[in-house]
Amino acid sequence: MLNASGRADSFNLFLALTYCLWPGTFDVVNASLTNEGLGPCATTLGRSLTFVLRQCQQYGKGSATTLVAAAGNKTSAQRLGYPAQLPTAVIATGLDWSGNDAGYNVSTATASGTVQPAFGGTQSDPFGQFVDPNGQQHPMFGTSFAAAVVTASYL
């Protein structure tokens, strides 16, 4: 679904979330991704995802599925996007080693879902390193890592 630079077309995101939410076979779905939309706008993607989520909850078994979405990092996004903008999403934000806001979280002021902070590490004090295809090391931190912790708490 994602290309080599970690991007996907919105229709792929739409289809993947529909698949995960509609059958109701999952307890929790982790959506550690965001779109490049401009905040809480009424985009086609946003309206479509909201519609699908409501349909899944009303007619499928989706109401039993918790959707955890990463808030997004200021380094890659400047505003809260979808799927974190969905009305029933649990939005993961990052905490540092001391339990304080990690500073890289995008604002969740426009969120209608539940904001759930969890440990996400920091750039200066990450909880690990990963090696990219070019052999360069990068610190592991961010709201996607916090989303993994939040997702585990719902299992």
Has residue 5 been placed in a domain?
no
Has residue 3 been placed in a domain?
no
pLDDT at 41 over 60: no
- Domains: count for the chain: 1
- Is the pTM higher than 0.85? no
For strand 137-139 and strand 129-131, is the pairing parallel, antiparallel, or unpaired?
antiparallel
Q: Residue 94, SS3?
A: strand
Beta bridge pairs of residue 67: 29
Has residue 4 been placed in a domain?
no
Q: Residue 28 burial by CB count (10 A; 0-12/13-18/19+): exposed, middle or buried? A: middle
pLDDT digit string, tens, across residues 104-118: 999 999 888 999 999
Domain of 146, CATH number, reads 3.40.50.200
pLDDT digit string, tens, across residues 67-103: 999 999 987 667 888 888 888 899 999 999 899 999 9
pLDDT score recorded for residue 147: 96
The answer to whether residues 89 and 63 touch, using CB atoms and an 8 Å cutoff, is no
* CA pair distance 33, 51, nearest whole angstrom: 19
Has residue 31 been placed in a domain?
yes
Has residue 1 been placed in a domain?
no
Range of the domain at 21: 10-153
* CA pair distance 90, 15, nearest whole angstrom: 20
